[in-house]
Structure 1
Amino acid sequence: MHGTTPLSQPAALPHRLTETAMRGVRGRCPRCNGAELFRKWLKPVDHCRACGQDWSLHTADDFPPYISIFVTGHLLAPLMIMLVLDFGLSTLATAAILIPLASVLMLGMLQPAKGAVIAYQWWLGLGEFEQERPLPVADSQKLP
C-alpha cells in the first residue's frame, strides 16, 4: 500500500468526508483515529503509530494560515464595527482589544486547520496519498 508502512494494522476508515475532517481538526489520525496526528504544534508525525499511514506526504503549505486569517477576519469584523459604532471606542482602545484577540484566534485555529487540510488531502487522494475508502457493508450484514 502506498503511503502506509508494511506493518500497518487495518484501520477504522471513515465513511464520510466530514468524519475525516473532524478527526484532523481534533488532531487525530484521519485514517484510523487511533493516534495523534501532530508531534509538535504544527509538525505532523511521520507515520501514524496505530495504522502506519505516512503523513510526511502531505502538502498543506500555506492553506491553513489562509483559513485561519479568513475565519478570524469574519469573526472579528462585526466585533470591530460594534466596538467603534455602538460603544464609540477610540482607535487605540479598539486596537488594544482586537489585536490580542485576533492573535489568539489565528494561532488557535492553525493546528485544527492544518489537521483538516491534511485530512482532506488524504480523503481525496491528493498528491502522494492513496485514496482509500471503507469496504461497503453487504446487504446481509446491515442492521435492520
Structure 2
Amino acid sequence: MPSFDKDTKVRIINRLVECGFHELEVTSFVSPRAVPQLQDADEVIKEIDRNQPVILRALVPNERGLERAHALGIKKVKLMLSGSDSHSLYNANANTFDALERYRSVAEKALTYNMKMTGSIAVAFGCLMKEKYQLNAMKKSVQSMHN
C-alpha cells in the first residue's frame, strides 16, 4: 500500500501547525508488521517542529505503543475500541471485551505518566465485516470506555 515518505509526513504536520491547528493526531504506534506505512512513527515525531504551541496526539493500541509515545514526549494518547468483535479481532487481535481489559492497563499507566487520553469507537455505526450489528453491544462498549 502506498505511503508518504517520512520527510513528506513531517512537512505536512509542520504546515498544519503553521496553519493554526492546536492539536493534531500525528501517528499511531502500531506494529510495523501490521501497518508498515507507520514504521517511521518514531522518526516522524522526532523531526516535528516542537517550537510551535501544538498538542501532538498519537493512537496507542497497547502498552508498548504507550511506552514509545511517552519516550518521544507525546502528552496525549488515544485508545480505540472496536464496536464489533469481528473488527476487534482483525484490528487488535482480541475480542472487544479483551481489548477493553488491555486498554484499562494502558490507561492506568498513561495516568502515571501524567498523559491525557481520548478514546474512540471504531465501526460505531456499522461494520462491513460479516457480523450482525448489535446496538446493545455498542452501548456497552461506550459505557465501558467511559468508565
TM-score under structure 1 length normalisation: 0.21
- Flag the structure with higher strand content: 2
Of structures 1 and 2, the one scoring higher in RCO (CA 8 A, sep 6+) is: 1
TM-score under structure 2 length normalisation: 0.21
